[in-house]
A and B are shown apart, each in its own frame.
Chain A
Amino acid sequence: MKNLKQTIFYYLKVYEKFVSTSISVGVSFRTSFTLLLLMDLFFYFSTLLSVNFIYDHIQMIGPWDKNHLLFFISFMLGIDHLHMTLVSESFWELSHSIRTGDLDFALIKPANSVFSVFFRYFRPSTIINIFVVWTFIIYYGIQVKLEPLSWVLLPFLMFLGFFLFVVIEFNIAASMFWLKEGLGINFLRMQLQQLARWPNFIYASIARKFLTVCLPILLVGSGPIHFLYDYGKWPLILSMVAASIVFLFILKFVWRSALRHYNSASS
């Protein structure tokens, strides 16, 4: 128990260093800092407005009305915000560092390599947008009349969705080690995000089953939101936990195999 506590403390200290160096770099390029902030804002508003415009002509999409879907979209923007702040940049750096051999510097660090590769870069500019994202979540949460318990569970479910999604992404990103140019894998990841941004019921039966059972990205947002609307759908949350464990387990083997395949271009 004491050992676990020490390990957590050690990783928190390392992460604190990662964050502080990322902030130093981030604020050095002020124009990029501002543009990143604007980029996210444009994305949030264009996504929400598109859904709004569709609902100007229809009443329902599947079982959901406008506010239900906009709450779902806001929830997914929340996960996207966490993703952009905490891990997004590391994925892009990974494809570059494998190609150039810079990954050596991450691998020799006295820490778990998954941690030092995927949590190395933090985006300080996007953290500011947390107020915008949570304003949307709270506003649409009130519109759909979320119960008090749902408000309490909301941050935990968002973290669970984020965790499941990044574990799946870590597995996919590991395939970069087998490719000469891994940039395309990042585009594949982005397409999975695109698929997860819509509720599971819009997809046709086979696609829905595949994206829920085999590659469970539809659980990321649809699982928590269906549960928040109807507590009877708790098996979805159980499925998310089970999927996270399974993909974490797969990652252990995939990552080990990927590192064995890494030939360190610089050495």
Chain B
Amino acid sequence: MGHALKWWQTIKISWSNHTAYRMNFFLQVIGPALVFFFVKYNLWSSIYSDESVEIIKGYTLSQMIDYHVWAMIVGLLAKGHSALNLSEDIRLGRISNFLIYPFNFWEFHTASFLSFQILQTIIVSISICIFWSLGILSIPSASILMSGFLYCLFVSCFWYTLQYLTGLVGFWLEETWILRVILEILTAFLSGAIIPLELYPKWFVSILEWTPFPYLTYFPIKTFMGQNSELIASYSVVTIWIIIFCFINHIIWKRGIKLYTGAGM
């Protein structure tokens, strides 16, 4: 019970941290997703304005716009930002506190991640209502919507393990933001966040199927659109990748902590 209270208090503190600078939060988390969608909306509207273009790889204009609205929703819901300060904690010696606290480093950042996900779920719910009321998005049935939400939240756990890994590299590297940006560029391109995977060459997609990337954006979008017939397989693949990365994170933490010098102590 006492431990659960520590989790709850940490989630509350983290919530306050996320919402303390609202303008900053909007510009850093929500703004990029909105602008990315705005660009794609205009780009595809421009492409489909050509009279000779009606359907591209099975997508009409409204289906393509639907795809990109869901891509934005998935980006907001699944791609966490809570592990951003992790490497800074290591570099500036702030993890010394966690070594003596009765609440360890992993638990603190995971509680922070949970708080961020609660906040994002609220933002996403409002966003869906807005897009639906503007007539830009067609809402699926409640069960599909719920299924999409659950799958996205599960994918966010995978994102979290990935970001945690890039943060832990801070034991060896001075700056880990570069790794995070590389991961974001690769993921945006390979996961179907920029364009649907149907538009990629077939040989390329068959390679991608062996990687976790399509499960980060493409499959969550298809789940929201009610077109993911392989939901159980999708869950299984993400579970395997989460286990793999949890294991890697555990090893890296054990090795990294031996190198930790406790800067500033």
Contacts and interface: CB of A to CB of B under 8 A. Distances in A.
Nearest to B179: A35
B173 A190 contact: no
B103 interface: no
B195 A53 contact: yes
A46 B185 contact: yes
A191 B42 contact: no
B195 A42 contact: no
B97 interface: no
A194 B173 contact: no
B43 A202 contact: yes
B36 A31 contact: no
Main secondary structure of the interface of B (DSSP, over half): helix
Interface centre among B27, B56, B174 (most CB of A within 10 A): B27
A53 B188 CA distance: 14
B52 A59 contact: yes
Interface string B167-208: 000001111001101100110110000110001110000000
Contacts of B27: 184-185, 187-188
Given A29-B174, A39-B185, A50-B189, A187 B200 contact: no
A46 B189 CA distance: 6
Contacts of B130: none
A32 B174 contact: yes
Nearest to B55: A57
Nearest to B190: A46
A106 interface: no
Main secondary structure of the interface of A (DSSP, over half): helix
Nearest to B26: A184
A187 B21 CA distance: 14
A142 interface: no
Contact of A42 (B21, B172, B182, B194): B182
Interface residues of A, number: 40
A62 B189 contact: no
B188 A46 contact: yes
A210 to B, nearest CB: 12
Contact of A184 (B24, B47, B185): B24
Nearest to A35: B178
A4 interface: no
Nearest to A28: B174
A198 B53 CA distance: 20
B189 A191 contact: no
A62 B49 CA distance: 8
Given A57-B199, A195-B35, 8 more contacts: A29-B175, A32-B175, A42-B182, A53-B195, A56-B201, A183-B24, A188-B31, A198-B43
Interface of A: 29, 31-32, 35-36, 38-39, 42-43, 46, 49-50, 53-54, 56-62, 179-185, 187-188, 190-191, 194-195, 198, 201-204, 207
